[in-house]
């Protein structure tokens, strides 16, 4: 059962353009939504994260938009650069119980930024 669905699978953007990756979740108990960035041959690393008490979080060129009623969140990369070419994963987790901070990941999006 895929509780976090991510789209698109792959994305090609020109340098300077905006990259947008979308995720939808099913479990309303989720209350933490991070995005991880993975370069080829490396492990994923946290890029930016949001909690559902805010609708948007911005860090430099990276912004998360969150829509609690629609159970959707998205990553926007402004002024995309070739160095942003990587695989991006959205994820979700919930507090308490036996969750122990377990993350449920989306399927991943391979982003290619052409110079």
**Residue 108 lies near other proteins (rule: CB under 8 A):** yes
Instruction: Decide whether 17 or 87 has the Cβ nearer to other proteins.
Output: 87
Burial class (CB in 10 A: 0-12, 13-18, 19+), 98: exposed
- Count CB neighbours of 16 within 10 A: 11
**Residue 46 lies near other proteins (rule: CB under 8 A):** yes
**Residue 101 lies near other proteins (rule: CB under 8 A):** yes
Instruction: Say how many CA atoms lie within 13 Å of 71 toward its Cβ.
Output: 11
Binding site for other proteins (CB under 8 A): 6, 9, 30-32, 34, 41-46, 49, 51, 89, 93-96, 98-108
């Amino acid at each position: 059962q895929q509780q976090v669905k991510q789209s698109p699978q792959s994305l090609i953007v020109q340098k300077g353009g905006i990259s947008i990756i979308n995720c939808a979740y099913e479990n309303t108990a989720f209350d933490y939504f991070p995005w991880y960035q993975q370069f080829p041959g490396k492990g994923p690393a946290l890029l930016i994260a949001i909690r559902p008490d805010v609708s948007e979080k911005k860090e430099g060129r990276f912004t998360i938009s969150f829509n609690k009623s629609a159970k959707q969140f998205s990553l926007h990369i402004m002024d995309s650069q070739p160095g942003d070419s990587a695989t991006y994963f959205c994820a979700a987790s919930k507090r308490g119980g036996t969750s122990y901070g377990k993350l449920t990941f989306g399927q991943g999006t391979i982003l290619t930024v052409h110079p």
